[in-house]
Every structure is written in structure tokens, then in C-alpha cells.
Amino acid sequence: MKNKKYLKDLSDIKFMMSRSSRFGSLSGLAGVFAGIYALIGAVIAQVLLWKHQAVFASLSPHPIDSQVLTQLFFIALAVLVLAIGTAILLSIKKAKKLSENAWNSTSKRLLINFFVPLTVGGLFCLVLLQYSLIGLIAPVMLIFYGLALIHADKYAAIDIKSLGYIQTILGLIATQFLSYGLYFWATGFGLFHIVYGIWVYKKYDRKNAE
């Protein structure tokens, strides 16, 4: 009996330590909304780029009209702002339900570990844009986003590493099919986000709500 109690106490201590070192307020619904925003953005981008399909099919520099690039930039910015804004709002809401503080040392470490690889990837995309290597931008975005998820996984209570591996592998595959870069982008940021978000919601969010 004493051994069982000792093991239970160790298990409880391990659980509390894990909970204190991992951010548990990430919402699966945030992934679903992010995926929806990405799909809408991809459709709009496809309409803008239908005259410029050749730029994705080659590693050679292919300049695009500056007006189109500006429009694509604002589309990407809108998707990013909506996705991050929704994630913040849903995380705060979930934290309140769990009686936790959404902004703490753990969430700060998660964001730092997430945004460092993501920022490097964003800067690298600007370099590709500088040299008009448009076809590589979508694969690079997927690869660095996947690496960001993998890097931040140790501070997240839910499994985001698996999604990170999926995005990274998808990005590597996309490097071999440059003319379909936007479709790979829509699949990774759109479809996989929705599917993964639903899985997280069913496994974690709904369980916490019960």
C-alpha cells in the first residue's frame, strides 16, 4: 500500500511539473480558423497569380508586377493577423476556463521558441523575393513553419511537433513541384491546420470542457 501511495505521489508531482512547464491553453479551434483563413487567402492569391504561373515552375529569377506583390503581401499579412489574433483570443478564453494565466513565463518561452525560426524563415523569404526566386517561397514558408512548431513543442501541452514534421516534409516535397507551390501552401496551412485543429479540439479542448 505504501509503495502504491508513493508511486501515485510521484505521478502527481510529475504531472504538476509537466503542467507548470508546458502551456496548456492552446486551442484546437484556433487551428481550424487559421486553416480557413489560409484557404480563403490561397483562393484570392490564385486569382491574382493565374497570369504568372510560369514564375513558380522555374528556379530562374522571374519578376512579378509590383502591384501584384503588394496585394499578395497584404493578403499574407491579413491571414497572419487573423490567425494570430484568433489564437490569442481563444487561448485567453481557454485559460480562463482552466483558471490559468494565459500570459506567463511558459507562454513567453513558447512564443520565443516559435517565432525565432519563423522570423528567420520570413527574412529568408524576403531574400528569395529580392532575387525574384518566387517559386521557392511557398516551400520555404512551410519548412520554416514546421521547424518553428517542432522547436516550440517542448513548451506546449498539446502535441504540435507532429504537425511540424508534416509541414516540414510537405515543404521539402513542394521543392520538387514548384509550379504547384500555392496548392502545397494551401494544403499545409489550410487543410492540415483544419484537420489537426479538429483532432486537438476533440482530444484536449472538449475533454477539458467536460
In angstroms, the first-to-last Cα distance of the chain is 31
* Close Cβ partners of 81 (under 8 Å, ≥ 6 residues apart): none
Quickly state the pLDDT bin for 198 (edges 50, 70, 90).
very high
- Between CA 25 and CA 188 the distance in angstroms is 23
Do 199 and 191 touch, CB atoms closer than 8 A? no
CA 163 vs CA 2, 142, 152, 158, 176: distances in Å: 42, 11, 12, 11, 21
Domain ranges of the chain: 28-209
On the question of pLDDT at 148 being above 90, the answer is: yes
Which residues have a Cβ under 8 Å from the Cβ of 102 and sit 6 or more positions away?
25, 91, 92, 94, 95, 96
Name residue 173's amino acid: I
Q: Please say if the pLDDT value at position 184 is more than 60.
A: yes
Q: Which pTM value belongs to this model? A: 0.81
pLDDT tens per residue, range 75-112:
988 998 999 899 888 888 877 776 777 677 787 888 89
Set of cell numbers at residue 14: 510529475
| pLDDT surpassing 50 at residue 15 | no
Number of other residues whose CB lies within 10 A of the CB of residue 27: 24
In whole angstroms, give the CA distance from residue 98 to residue 208. 8
Per-residue pLDDT at 14 exceeds 90: no
Question: Is 146 in contact with 168 (CB distance < 8 Å)?
Answer: yes
Secondary structure string (H, E, C) spanning 13-27:
HHHHHHHHHCECCCC
Percent of the chain, pLDDT > 70? 78
